[in-house]
Amino acid sequence: MRERLRRRSGTSGADGTEIATPEGGATAVAVEERTREPEPVAAARPAPVVRRRRGVGDLEPVLLLRAAHPKQAAVTALGIAACAALAGRELREVGVVLLTVLVGQTILGWHNDLVDRGRDARHDLPGKPVAQGRLDPGSVWFAIACAALLLVPLAVSTGITAGSCYLLAVAIGLLANVALRRGLLSWLPWAASFALYPAYLSYGGWGGQHEGNPPEVAVVVLFALLGVGVHVLRALWGLVPDNKDGWTYLPLRLGLRLGAARLLTVTSVYLGVVLLALAFAGTSVGLSR
């Protein structure tokens, strides 16, 4: 009985609640614990910022190279240079043709990435340093200006007429980057620019004052057909984002009807036939009249 009363005895805390203690000496300790202010929590330290180390792929010359569509530029330049060699041009002339076409294709690649940087970023396309923000558009424009200053003397070094034909082909390619590419006439700039390549080769020679002969009509037509095939082949890897953007150009219409795999097969056969026809025309009638 005495022990029970001892357990019920005690004092009230700061909030008015009774603090039951077996012994009266523990009351002060209980009150102190209930009224003690919580210790301040140490502020969390911000997480350290991890910076990605810049490698060789982040250097501006490397990014400019990636933005220039190097594979297409190299294949086109080598193809036109091979045509010049098969036409009997001297080695030094073949070298000038190779360099000229390479510079022109580089300009077209840079310009294409500048025009498409918004949609490339929207579709998160790989291999697009301008769209990814890794390459400043101003640097690309500056590179285009420098390359154009190099392209003009290179083109006219094989003759004014020949150089003008190639510069016109590049101008048509630049126009194609901003016009006609979304509709049914998307093939037209490709056909027109490729049709000028035989004129560039047939009128060209060594020295700015050289004047050759006009190209054969059959070769011009075959080069135009080649340009259409190259257009379809280049567009195959972008059919999905182009369809999302509502484009209605020729490769997309063909892809929707045939399927991408079948269209690739048909395009490859088409290009093979055109190249065989070009080889036959080159050996039978020649490049120029």
- Quick: pLDDT tens for 218-276: 999 999 999 999 999 999 989 999 999 999 999 999 999 999 999 999 999 999 999 99
pLDDT classification of 209: cutoffs 50, 70, 90: confident
pLDDT at residue 160 above 60? yes
Neighbours of 210 (CB within 10 A): 16
Nearest 5 degrees, angle CA 177-CA 178-CA 183? 90
For range 79-101, the mean pLDDT: 93
DSSP string over 65-119: HHHT-HHHHHHHHHHHHHHHHHTT--HHHHHHHHHHHHHHHHHHHHHHHHHTHHH
Cα 234 to Cα 26, 102, 158, 183, 239, distances in angstroms: 87, 17, 29, 16, 10
Highest mean pLDDT among 30-34, 204-208, 212-216: 212-216
Residue 43 neighbours by CB distance under 10 Å: 6
Q: What amino acid occupies position 245?
A: D
Q: How many CB atoms lie within 10 A of CB 98?
A: 19
Q: What is the DSSP string of 124-179?
A: T-TT-TTTTTSS-HHHHHHHHHHHHHHHHHHHHTT-HHHHHHHHHHHHHHHHHTTS
Report the distance separating Cα 64 and Cα 68, nearest Å.
6
**Rounded distance between C-alpha atoms, residue 251 and residue 167, angstroms:** 26
Joined together, the tokens standing for residue 154 give: 């290179």
C-beta neighbour count of 263 within 10 angstroms: 21
pLDDT of 21: 42
Question: Domain locations in the chain?
Answer: 59-285
Q: What pLDDT, in 10s, does the model give residues 8-57?
A: 444 444 444 444 444 444 444 444 444 455 555 444 455 454 455 667 77
